[in-house]
Structures are given as C-alpha cells and as structure tokens.
Chains A and B, each alone.
Chain A
Amino acid sequence: MGKALFYNCQNGAWISAWGFLCAGLLSMSSTFATEPDIQLRDTCPPSFSLSDDNRCSLRHMYQLYDSLQDSGIGGLKTALPKARDGFSPQQIDLGRLLFFDPILSADNSLSCATCHNPKQGFSDAMDRSVGINGHVQNRSAPTLWNSAFLSSFFWDARAQSLEEQALGPLFSANEMGNTPEQLVASLNSAVVYKRLFKLAFPNQKTALSVNNVITSLTAFQSSLVSLNSRYDQYAHGYHQALNDNEIAGLNVFRSFVARCSQCHTPPLFTNQQVAVIGTPEPEGLARDVGAEKTFNSKVLRGGFKVPTLRNIAQTAPYMHSGRFKTLREAAEFYTGGRGHAVPKGEDLLLHWHISEPNLTSNEIDQLVDFMKTLSDESFTPATPKQAPSGLPFKHMENAHEKT
C-alpha cells in the first residue's frame, strides 16, 4: 500500500487474476506464427464488484459519504462524483491489451501507453508529447488516473466522454495517425483479436469494430482508480497518516490565502471547471488559446480544465505545455502575482482566485510535501507480457528521467 508496485508475470503476481500463461508468453517472439494463447480475465480489477450479469461496479471508501447536491466536491469526508463503470471484466481486459498495443497507431510506432505510461503516472514525463512521425504536440499528456470520475476531457474540455476522447488521438494525423478502416483491418489481421473481441462482445455479430475498440479503451481507463493515498487515510479519519509538515501543507492548500482547494477541490482534487490562470508558454511558443476555441468565447482565452492533483508527483513536468519542471516551480507560479507571466498585449480574463498570496518559501515547500501525499499507485494494472499483435511495445524507450 502507498508504494508504487508493478507486478508482471515474471515475479509471479497477477497471474491468476489476469489469466495469463506467462511461461508460454515469455518464449514468444515479437510476431506470432500461430495464435498466442491469450485469454481475457473473467474477474474484475481491484476495487470493482462483479455482478450476476457480468458487470464490474466500482466500490471505494468515499461511497461512505454524501456531497452537497451530489456535486462530488467538498472536503475530507465527501462523496466523489459518480464514476463510469458497468463494463464486463473481458471488456476491461481487452481494453488493457489494446491500450499497450502499438497496432493502434498507423505505423505501429505508438500505443496509448507511449504517452500514458503507467510507470510515469499514465503520462509521459515530457513537456509536450510526441506523436506519429515525431510530431510534437501542443500540449502535455494528462494523467489517466481517476478519469472515470471526470465529466469533460482534454485540456480544453472539448470532449464530454471517455469514448469521445479516445477518438481524438486515435484518428488525429499528428498523434496516432490511424483511420477507422485501417484500424479495423489491422486488428483483423492480427488473428488473436478476432477471438478476443468475440469474448468481450459475445452478443454482437461484428464484434471487432471501432466502436468496440473505443468501448474497451473506455472500460480499461475507467478501471484506473487511485484513492488510497496517505491523504485518503487522513481524510477517512486517521490523522497520523500525515506528518506535521504535510498537515501544515494541507492547511496552506485549503487556506484562503493560497486558495488551492477552491479549484483543486477534494476529494478528486479538481472541481472540473475551466480556469484561466495565465501560465507562461514555453519560450518561442505562441499562446495556446485553450478553451476559447471549445466554447468560442474570448473570456475563456487561455483557459484550461483544472487537472486533478492525485498522483501529481508522478506526472512532471506541469501545466498544459509542461512549462514547469517541478511541483515546486508549479506551486511557486501562484505566488508570483496575478498575471505576472501574461505577456504585454495579451488580454486574459484571469480567474478570480488568481491573487497575490505572497506565500513564504516554507509554505511552498509544505504545499509540495502535501501534494506528494496524494500519490497512490496500488491498483496499477499489469502491463501485458506481450502485445496480442506480436508487435514490440512502444512505451519502454520513452521512460525519461523524472524531474
């Protein structure tokens, strides 16, 4: 608990739960001459309850509580927003296999995990992610932890569901560069997938479809739950879980001087709204208009969705274009003065909570200490030993040093 644990076939864990035959897989080469013996698990991931009709529903400690107007925001003992769940174990597991399989990109050079690497907080440790053919993206890859609780997606809040979100990178020419036709064709050519889609979508005539790829990816992402951090232990009433410095940080975090918790509101540590905070762009890069485009509204120019801070210590660098290398730099931004990083001639309607808190250096350290208590990777799913397509993984070489 509380420690990042990654288990795979080699050390023995997960075998029974995930239904893999590790010995067989370990001897495989990167392309399969015969169909590999890959099964889909028939049990739910940790934190899910399996119903009689083969659906996984989420159970977590915050279900002991209520929230005002079912808003899913509040303080310590407050309910979370309603989560996406109800997928079958097979759909979730197929989603996991697809998530790590480079077959999803046009040239087999990237998988979802390339930019959302479980070893890097389901992000990629880069300021801006790199897509197909070396295309540098405009923004950084957000974490996928707890995305089951979100109501809008992408930094600019342009998608309203995980399904809508998944279509974006898959078929963007600059990201995975695929087309629906090619995606279906290449999955069909990897013999094993036909059987796996049939297992996950048994009642459908054409189980292998773009829709079902999207559903499976959604199912997998909705299983990425992180709610057992040391902060959570404190929230449930065990105050010894945090040391004095971390509690001091919590008090700075929710104080009305720093006001962090007004937007990064517990228990999800985001209020899921769009905020214009005026962070600087990396040098030489034009202002990212953000949500101005989504909502066709000048007042949201430079506005971005408030990101969750859960597992934030795992996802440096920070902000929409990764301008800040460390958590401390990101926290310091807020005490630099309202609009201090907005270039002359740039007209931004800054959020009302962007103020002049004049935090001390010690308080910033305490904030950082507190944010580090929001880490929990205990339910990290196992990386498949081998991609069903037989292709080599494309998320290992991207393991940059953490900053």
Chain B
Amino acid sequence: MKKLNSLAIGLALITFAAGWYLGGSNDALTITSSAGGKSYAGGYVNEQATEAASSRAVKLRTTEGKTHVVNPGDLIQAAVELAVPGDTIQVMPGTYSETVYIDKDDIHLRGVIVEGERATLDGLKTLNDAILYSGNNIIIENFKIIDYKGNGIMSQAGNNFEIRNNLIIDTGIYGIFPQLGKNGLIEHNVVSGIADAAIYVGMSDNIHVAYNEVFDSVAGIEIENSRHAIVEHNHTHHNTGGILAFITPGLPVKDTYDVIIRNNFIMDNNTPNFGAPGSTVAGIPAGTGILIMAADDVVVEGNIISNNKTAGILITDHGNADNLTLDPESDPNADGAMILDNVMLNNGYDTIDAVRAFALTELHTGDIDIFQIGPTEGSCIINRHRYKTVGIGDFTDCDFTNTDDIDNYLLAGGAQPRVIHPSERGEIAYLGVCTGCHAYAGRLIGPSVEEIQALYANRPEALVQYINAPTPMRADYPEMPAQNYLDAETQLAVANYILQVGN
C-alpha cells in the first residue's frame, strides 16, 4: 500500500512538472482517454496466481453429498443437523419461521424457486436473525427473507462463501453481513428496508459484491475494516448513502484498503437517515453517493452517480466525522483515493451546512460532485475538469486510467485451511486436552501415560474406542469423561501420539 502511494506521488510530480513546463492555462484541456491506457495494478498479490482467477468463491464439488429436501411444515434446522459436509439442503417454496444456524463446513443451503414462489424465511418481527453461520465453503441462495429483527444472513468467521439471489426485505440491522471471513462472493441479491446497511462486509478480505440491487436502507453497500474488495455492477438507490468504504475505529481489525468501486448505478440516495442513534451510519448525511472515510487506496471508476443531494463522492478523514471513538491504532486519513472516469450528474444540489461552509472556503458555490476534506496523501484523479469539485487541490493526475487488469480479488482455489500434520494434531490434542489428567510418569488424576502405553501398545484403534466410551477400570480412580467430542481424525492422531510420546 505504502509502495503504491509513493509510486503514484512520484509519477504525479513528473506529470505536474511537465505540465508546468509546457505551458499556461490557455491551452486545450488535457483529456485522458480511459480506453486502452494503463490499468491500476491492484493492491493484492494473489499467491495462487498460477490458477486462473475464479468467478466463484466456493470450489465446485467433485462429488456431491446427500441432498436433504425440506418442505413447508418441516424445520430447515432439522435438515442442517442431519447434514454433513458435502451435503446440500433444498428448501421448497413456502413459509418458514425459524433461525437457521450452520456451524459446519461445506453445506449448500438452497431455496427452490418454483414459478416465482420462493422459500420464505419470515421472522414475524419477533425472531432475531434468519441465517447464521460459522463455517467454511457455505452457499446460501434463492431465499426470501422478511421481518427479522437482527440480520438476514450473517456469518462470523467463514472462508469461501457465496450469498446469491436472495430477496431480503425489512430485516432489521443488516441484510447480508459476512464478518471475519476471507474469499466471499455476494451477488444478485435484492435487499431493501434495512436500518443500517443492506450489504455490510465487515473485517473481511478478498470480497466481491456484484449485481445487487439495494434500496430504501440507510447504507446501501458498506466495506468496513476490510481489504481487497470489489464492488461492481450494483444498483444502489434511495438509500441515505449509496456505497461506503471506511474504517470504524475501535474494532480489532484496524484498516480498510484496496477497494474498487466500479460500474455501479448510484442514484437518488436521499432517504432521511433512520439509523439507530449511536450507530456509525447514523452520521451519514442523506444524499451521499459514495462515502470514503479513512479508507486507503479506493478506486472509483465507471459509476453513474446521479441525484445525490449532499455529494456524489464524499471523502473524509476521521477528524471531520462526528461521534467516532479514539483508536490510536487506526490511521484516520483517507489516503490514495483514485477517481477515474465516472458519469456524475446533479449531485450536491442541496448539501449539508458543514460541506457548504467548507466549499465556501474555496469560493465554491452550487452543486458538488466530489468533496474531499481532511489530510490526504497519494490521491489522484483523471479528467478532473468534468466535475464540480471541492477539496481535491492536492490530488495529482492518476498515472493509470482504468482497472481492466483486475477481474476480481477472489482466490482461485479458495482460502485454504491450516495444514496440520497428524503428529502435530496429536500433540496439540494430547497437550491441550489430555495433560490436564494424565502425566507421563506417575498418577495425576488418571493413570500415567506410561501405563497407557503398556496397555495399548500398537493398538491405537483400541485406545480410540476406549476414550470414546470409557469404562471404569480402576476402583480408586475417578471415572474418565468420554472424549467423543473430538473428531475421528483427532482421536486417532492423539491415540497414535500418546502411544509413542516420551516423557
């Protein structure tokens, strides 16, 4: 990120010097063509670059597991409990009122749409969330979700996910909210009537948000404390703010950078702010097309941004934003904003006082397409003459004109789980669990490892059988609790480990 900034600054200085040398203000405007030209290089080096960029976040299955069909009157959760990784759950059209939670890997949860009729999750304004998950390789698609109080679809730590073709209406705080995950695709969803963000990507990496329609919400699409995200081909209209990339201070992941916002329709986002008091979005002025707050290296390209009354693009540091907490670990400035060609029409026509007052310091009155306030470094723009701007005097001319070289930031092959060698797994389980009761030599709570080794030499399977369903073997020892909560792989690994461990 730093390198990218200094490169941009360096090249910009050269451009500026050449311009100054070549002449005065009477020359024809320099018009930069965004066709051809150099592409933005992107802020992400894909370690798996040998494979072609993927348009999916969840790898295609080589073998399909079981398909569980859920009919109206059944509980979706009952099918989730039966499902094992690799399975698919098909939910037939009808109404289901429950909170579905998936704490497993590799489950595909699919609504079935029949002649336009969807599987509908109805929270009845009493249930908290529609779908929660914490697992990798999850697909959730084709649902209609209405009237929940919390979130439509929320994850806490799930890598490789696809959330697709869901219709989410009036579900409380967030429509779609993946958090603390890597490599995710959110596409073709229609989300409306959300009191915070229709689509909220929080503390996540390598995310693609595309072809969604979001409206009648406070924030349309939010990229918060996240990196390597692309937001493209979305239609965000009639929200308070259309698309946001920012840092919320006080969160455990501290930065947002490398975000591309391109080819979106961002229109009429003038809905009065109905965010909850104290929420971060409660401070967004109605009429904000794009908001960049403290985020670094955000590219804005090819969007149609129209009829947003405060500003088409509003860029600010933390210092000029209200009601934020202090976080010495977060950089408060929005550095490296990169504005390429966009179509901007009729923005900032009825802006807020603070913006108007700052504009006046630059003797600017009237509409505002682009508004920037606060310290910024390494920011650039092309064809600045097209727009009504405030505060971009420090912006240089970008040395690239498009982002054509970057399809997406999804990881070909997906984010990989930690590779654990069986002996490492065995050691971890032995020390992390068993040593509370078993010492190598001598009795602790249970018998010594030496005794166990003598009893089960060369018979790890028998040891696995015993720890799954222990039976009392020594009258003067407390009964061993079953270790059946460890998965089969870990049980065998720990049995093998115990039988060979020395002191």
Q: Does A146 contact B (CB under 8 A)?
A: no
Q: Does A200 contact B (CB under 8 A)?
A: no
A137 contact set on B, CB distance < 8 A:
none
Kindly identify which residue among B150, B484, B486 contacts A255, using a CB–CB cutoff of 8 Å. Answer: B150
Is B487 a contact of A256 with CB atoms below 8 Å? Answer: no
Kindly identify which residue among B101, B155, B158, B252 contacts A271, using a CB–CB cutoff of 8 Å. Answer: B252
Q: Chain B, 11-24, contact with A by CB distance < 8 Å: what is the 0/1 string?
A: 00000000000000
Is A63 a contact of B428 with CB atoms below 8 Å? Answer: yes
Q: Give Cα A5–Cα B479 distance, bound, in whole angstroms.
A: 13
Q: Chain B, 81-104, contact with A by CB distance < 8 Å: what is the 0/1 string?
A: 100000000000000000101011
Is A356 a contact of B443 with CB atoms below 8 Å? Answer: no
Please name the residue on chain A nearest to B432 by beta carbon.
A60
Is A236 a contact of B204 with CB atoms below 8 Å? Answer: no
A-B contact count (CB 8 A): 198
Q: Give Cα A89–Cα B428 distance, bound, in whole angstroms.
A: 19
A77 contact set on B, CB distance < 8 A:
134-135, 157
Q: B-side binding surface: helix, strand, loop or mixed?
A: loop
Q: Does B417 contact A (CB under 8 A)?
A: yes
A257 contact set on B, CB distance < 8 A:
128-129, 149-150, 172-173
Q: Does B3 contact A (CB under 8 A)?
A: no
Is A75 a contact of B129 with CB atoms below 8 Å? Answer: no
Q: Chain B, 311-339, contact with A by CB distance < 8 Å: what is the 0/1 string?
A: 00000000000011111100000000000
- Which of B276-284, B369-377, B387-395 is the interface stretch? B276-284
Q: Give Cα A67–Cα B180 distance, bound, in whole angstroms.
A: 8
B444 contact set on A, CB distance < 8 A:
13-14, 16-17
Range for the number of chain B residues in contact with chain A: 35 or more
Q: Does A295 contact B (CB under 8 A)?
A: yes
Is B486 a contact of A236 with CB atoms below 8 Å? Answer: yes
Which B residues, 205 to 253, have Cβ-Cβ distances below 8 Å to chain A? 205, 248, 250-253
Is B420 a contact of A64 with CB atoms below 8 Å? Answer: yes
- Determine which residue in A5, A74, A227, A247 has the highest number of CB atoms from chain B within 10 A of its CB, and name it: A74
Range for the number of chain A residues in contact with chain B: 35 or more
Whole-angstrom distance from the CB of B43 to the nearest CB of chain A?
Answer: 15
Q: Give Cα A46–Cα B155 distance, bound, in whole angstroms.
A: 33
Q: Give Cα A187–Cα B323 distance, bound, in whole angstroms.
A: 51
Is B157 a contact of A76 with CB atoms below 8 Å? Answer: yes
Q: Give Cα A74–Cα B103 distance, bound, in whole angstroms.
A: 13
A237 contact set on B, CB distance < 8 A:
103-104, 485, 487
- Determine which residue in A1, A66, A239, A354 has the highest number of CB atoms from chain B within 10 A of its CB, and name it: A1
Please name the residue on chain B nearest to A380 by beta carbon.
B436
B276 contact set on A, CB distance < 8 A:
355-356
Q: Does B437 contact A (CB under 8 A)?
A: yes
Which A residues, 233 to 291, have Cβ-Cβ distances below 8 Å to chain B? 233-234, 236-241, 247, 251-252, 254-258, 261, 265-266, 271-276
Q: Does B161 contact A (CB under 8 A)?
A: no
Q: Give Cα A5–Cα B481 distance, bound, in whole angstroms.
A: 13
Which B residues, 467 to 499, have Cβ-Cβ distances below 8 Å to chain A? 481, 484-487, 490
B277 contact set on A, CB distance < 8 A:
338
Q: Chain B, 156-195, contact with A by CB distance < 8 Å: what is the 0/1 string?
A: 1110000000000000111001001110000000000000
Whole-angstrom distance from the CB of A152 to the nearest CB of chain B?
Answer: 11
Is A74 a contact of B128 with CB atoms below 8 Å? Answer: no
B248 contact set on A, CB distance < 8 A:
352
Which A residues, 89 to 137, have Cβ-Cβ distances below 8 Å to chain B? none
Q: Give Cα A233–Cα B481 distance, bound, in whole angstroms.
A: 13
Q: Does B441 contact A (CB under 8 A)?
A: yes
Interface residues in chain A, defined as those with a beta carbon under 8 Å from any beta carbon in chain B: 1-2, 5, 7, 12-17, 43, 46-49, 59-61, 63-69, 71, 73-79, 227-228, 233-234, 236-241, 247, 251-252, 254-258, 261, 265-266, 271-276, 295, 297, 299-300, 303, 338, 349-352, 354-356, 378-379
Interface residues in chain B, defined as those with a beta carbon under 8 Å from any beta carbon in chain A: 81, 99, 101, 103-104, 128-129, 132, 134-135, 149-151, 154-158, 172-174, 177, 180-182, 203-205, 248, 250-253, 276-280, 323-328, 417-418, 420, 425, 427-433, 435-437, 439-445, 481, 484-487, 490, 503
